[in-house]
Structure 1
Amino acid sequence: MSGLSARDIGHRVVVRHRLPGGQLTDVLGVLQSLDASQLVVRHADSTPYAIQLADVSAAKQIPPLVLRPVDVEQLFLTTALGRPAVETSHLGQWLLRASDGWTGRANSLLPVGDPGMSVADALKHAEAFYDEHGLTPLALVRLGTEREAEFRQHGWVESRPGQSDALVLHTSLDLVNGVPAYEVEIDDKPDAEWYATAFEGEVPAAAPKVMEGAPKAVFASIRQDGKIAAVGRGSMTGHWLGIDGVRVHPAYRRRGLATAVLQGLARWSGAQGGRRTYLEVLEDNTAAVSTYLSLGYAEAYRYRYLTSR
């Protein structure tokens, strides 16, 4: 074999090798491991492909995948479907969401597509909806868009002026589905211990309804010293994996557990047909932003919450 060494682990490679019948074939993916007898290439769907070194005729590292442009409008809606609110009403294609006040995302208007009426009338309907639910009218608005300008022209202003922008980051799944440094458990339903790690203090009443409400969601955890030390949530919408709810117990931070949670969810998603992944993070959370960018994430768009009051 030529061209590969332990330094290439974690990089994309192409390996030409001989099948049992003698035919030559190529395998392309991420080099997962390499020892004296075999190498393992990880496909985009997370499947490992073991090849004996004696069967390899050529192998080399290849450039990383170019991150394809994202359909921002589609992703904007996908983020809502991946973590649906307790109650969702439609205003044309706009989504009116309410969840007893827990999180801005689950209690805000998502102005995606056409509301089926003038923006002025749609905003009046939105205000009435939130008044009926005893909530402050909020809209999750992508920055730098015509829609943002329209909302501001109708008197909507910053709801959280002291908070930084929220960034929606995306990447290709095979950039982040590496082998976790810790064992990651994936469950269909979280238990009380999972929630105790996910939240500092009392769990909001609406949280389980929101977090468990997606059609296809799983809950990741890592145990250390006999207890859950890190958690995260993953949801599938089409070929998109949404990752949220990542939290590491303070006693176990700065050990790579958050990255392992992300990788564990990515590997689960690959087997479910996942191809791309997104997550959200506040811009001023510099440690998290730096970690995500180093893993291959890039900014798709950013948003803020606007309110009419």
Structure 2
Amino acid sequence: MAIKAIPAQPVTRRAVRDLEAAAARGWRALQTDRIGGWLLRAADGFTRRANSCMPLDDPGMALDDAIAAVRDWYAERGLPPCFQVPGPLELALGPALDARGWSRSEDVLVLTADVDDVRAGARDDLPAVRIDDRPDDAWLGCYHYRGDELPEHAIHVLTNADQVGFASVDDAGQRVAIARGAVTDAPSGRRWLGVTAVEVAPTARRRGLGSHVVAGLAAWAARLAATHAYLQVEETNTAAQAAYRKLGFADHHSYHYRSP
């Protein structure tokens, strides 16, 4: 008997809004505001995610006025205006920004998986993953956002979530891998683990430590009743994508940034 393959169901705009709302709670800015269904976020410039407008739904006013209000809001805080735009939610906003000369940059994939699949990737031959509710100095010393040292206020962004865990793997007294996890609820009620800040020490790479530390976070999140996990990875980072796909992650949607 022939078995017919069932194609993957397309991701709906509702599902994208739901996940991005949960992700915004997992990497929460220090200041937030709203223009209708647009979420404004600022965090003194640390990470584009925490310093950009997420257009989750209709702004409740004419696009011209809404875009101008975004520019004014960021100007008041000494920050450049920026949108984080999920592809399925562009609709009228994308052409409007094109017409105003806003450039597009940094295409990012959002990958999702079942938490149970991810935590099955833990390895007994590697040191155990420890989870703390705050990052210690060794954790912070391992995290280099875009290769740079962290600004002092970064700690406030990293810890600004209701349920956050900082995963560490130590080997022979050295910190060899880290990751950050945040468990948040989407508007639909689905409980997500958001995985960010995955880093492996240069001297410890090619041992599977990145996947191992992510699996440890998934085990922690399962104890908090999270059922699904997401992470963001640049489209050009094919090596990281391959490692995450082995843990069960698959494409959900993509987003990019827009700046004038």
TM-score bracket, shorter-length normalisation: 0.7 to 0.9
> Retained in 1: the 8 A contact 2:130–2:167?
yes
Find the aligned partners of 1:240 and 1:83 in 2 and give their Cα distance: 12
1:162-173 matches, within 5 Å, as 163=106, 165-173=107-115
Corresponding position: 1:260 with 2:209? no
**TM-aligned CA deviation for residue 147 of structure 1:** 4.4
- Candidates 181, 193, 205, aligned match of 2:152: 205
Contact 1:176-1:266 at 8 Å conserved across structures: yes
Structure 2 CA distance for aligned equivalents of residues 109 and 274 of structure 1: 27
Picking from 80, 93, 109, the partner of 1:136 is: 80
Q: Which structure has the highest strand share of the two?
A: 1
Aligned partner (choices 191, 194, 197) of residue 242 of structure 1:
194
| Distance of 1:115 and 1:226 partners within structure 2 | 51
Quick one: which amino acid aligns to residue 75 of structure 1?
Answer: L
**1:141-164 deviation line (CA, Å, top 9, x unaligned):** 12253144344355152253xx4x
Are residues 1:282 and 2:234 paired?
Answer: yes
Tell me, yes or no, if structure 1 residue 220 matches structure 2 residue 172: no
The yes-or-no answer on 1:88 pairing with 2:88 is no
Amino acid at match of 1:73: R
CA distance in 1, matches of 2:71, 2:20: 21
| Higher share of residues assigned helix | 2
Q: Does residue 74 of the first structure (1) align with residue 18 of the second (2)?
A: yes
Give % identity. 38
CA distance in structure 2 between the partners assigned to 1:69 and 1:283 by the alignment = 19
User: Which stretches of structure 1, 4 residues or more, deviate above 6 A after TM superposition?
Assistant: 66-69
TM-score by length of 2: 0.87
Distance 2:36 2:143 in 1: 35
Using the TM superposition, name which of 179-188 and 271-280 deviates more: 179-188
What letter matches 2:156 in structure 1?
Answer: K
C-alpha distance in 2 between matches for 1:225 and 1:201: 26
Query: Which of residues 135, 150, 155 in structure 2 aligns to 1:190?
Result: 135
Q: 1:111 aligns with which of 46, 52, 55?
A: 55
Q: How many pairs were matched up? A: 240
Inter-CA distance 68–189: structure 2 relative to 1 (3 Å threshold): farther
Distance 2:248 2:10 in 1: 14
CA distance in 2, matches of 1:278, 1:229: 23
Shift of 1:120: 1.5
Structure 1 unmatched runs, 5+ = 1-65
Once the 2 structures are TM-superposed, how far is the Cα of residue 131 of structure 1 from its aligned partner? Answer: 0.7
- Counterpart position of 1:31: none
TM-score normalised according to structure 1 size? 0.73
Per-residue deviation, residues 202-244 of structure 1 (Å, max 9, x unmatched): 2222311111001111100000110211100000112100000
- Measured at CA, do residues 241 and 111 of structure 1 come closer, stay the same or move farther in structure 2, by a change above 3 Å? same
Q: CA, structure 1 residues 264+92, in 2 after alignment: closer, same or farther (shift >3 Å)?
A: same
Structure 2 matches for 1:122-133, cutoff 5 A? 122-133=66-77
CA contact (8 A) 2:110 2:252 kept: yes
Match of 1:295 in 2: 247
Larger RCO (alpha carbons 8 Å, 6+ apart): 2
Distance 1:178 1:147, change over 3 A: farther
